[in-house]
Every structure is written in structure tokens, then in C-alpha cells.
Amino acid sequence: MVARPPLRLSVEAMGLPDLPEVQAIERLSFTTPWPPHAYRTELQSNRLAHYVVARADGRVVGFAGMWLMVDEAHVTTFAVHPAWRRQRIGERMLLSLIDVALARGAREATLEVRLSNLGARRLYEKYGFRPVGLRPRYYSDDNEDALIMTTETLDGAPMQARLARLRAALEAAPELESPDDGPAGDRGPAGGA
């Protein structure tokens, strides 16, 4: 058996040509996916929105988005194709969103996550998000509650030290491995990470 070379991952701004792959991951990741026109509208007319995609050798394997409102970055969506999960792709996208939030002057980041989504919650906690409230019956598909999470001050010394440590660990992590059965996903604030 010949070993496959590791795949290269990049995180970059989402563009209109990415939407078919984003929608496919959306349908695999959420029981109530956003309608097909939602991302197009976000990209074309929401000046508060910033969306990224994660690519493995040119193929979209994840996406994430946030709105930057005054001094708050609110994560709106987060998903990794199911076949590509558990390879730290979500971590790289979250770090990318935090970097953009910092560059644009956000003081904190917030999000909602399903109470049952322990994997996503652990990721967010690792990156400094902490529970601050609950939105009862937030998710329309099953009326599950959402946990509201927020960070400490993004440009504060404790958060900067955390981000530097986590960034170094990501840079030292092994490259991606191609799953045998194709791409995969998670959804953060709306459902998983």
C-alpha cells in the first residue's frame, strides 16, 4: 500500500463560487439548513458579515461565519463536512474568525450552541468562550435550548496568551489526512463544531 501525501489546508474568504459546496456541507450538518439564497445574500449585501471556507487541496471541507457589530463579533454559523471532522479544521476556522474580529476592533466574541453539542462546546471553551446565558427553545427543529457563550476581552493579555499558545499548537499539528469516503462537517453556533 502506498501512503498518500498529507493534504494542505487553507482558510480563506468565502466567495460565490463556493456556495454549492457550502450548501452541501450545510445539508449534511444541520437538520434545518439555511435556504440556498441565504449565503448569497450574506456575501452580496450584509456589510457586517464575514464568512470563511476551509479548503483541503482546493475542495471546500468546512465553513464559518460571523457578523461584526460595533465592538462584538457574533459567530453565526460553523460547519465541517462530516468526513473531515476531528482534524482540527474547526479550530483553524475559529482562529481565523477571531483574527478577523481582532483586526476589525471587536472587543469580544459571542455565539449560541446547542446544549447537547458537547464537542462544539469544548472547542469554544478551549478558545476562551464561557457560558453566560441560555436561549430557551432556540432551535426550531426540536426546540432545544441554546447556550450563549462569550469570550473575555479579545485583546486582553490572558486571551492573547491563550491564542498564542493555541496557534503554536496548531502550527505544530500534523497535516490533514484524506478520509477514505470523501469530505465531512460540524456546525457551531447553530448546531455543531
pLDDT digits (tens, 9 = 90+) for 165-189: 999 999 998 878 788 644 343 334 3
List the catalytic residue out of 42, 108, 112, 139. Answer: 112
Q: What is residue 1's predicted lDDT score, i.e. its pLDDT?
A: 52
Least confident of 66-70, 159-163, 173-177: 173-177
Q: What is residue 7's predicted lDDT score, i.e. its pLDDT?
A: 78
Residue 193 within any structural domain of the chain: no
Q: What is the pLDDT of the chain when averaged over all its residues?
A: 90
Q: Is the pLDDT of residue 190 over 90?
A: no
Q: What is residue 189's predicted lDDT score, i.e. its pLDDT?
A: 39
With a pLDDT cut of 70, the percent of the chain lying above it is 90
Residue 180 within any structural domain of the chain: no
Residue tagged 468565502 (cell numbers): 14
List the catalytic residue out of 39, 124, 127, 139. Answer: 124
Domain of residue 102, residue span: 9-172
Residue 116 within any structural domain of the chain: yes
Q: Catalytic annotation on 112? A: yes
Q: What is residue 157's predicted lDDT score, i.e. its pLDDT?
A: 97
Residue 189 within any structural domain of the chain: no
CATH code for position 42: 3.40.630.30
Residue 192 within any structural domain of the chain: no
Number of domains in the chain: 1
Q: Is the pLDDT of residue 121 over 80?
A: yes
Residue 181 within any structural domain of the chain: no
Residue 124 within any structural domain of the chain: yes
pTM of the predicted protein model: 0.88
Q: Is the pLDDT of residue 193 over 60?
A: no
Q: Catalytic annotation on 124? A: yes
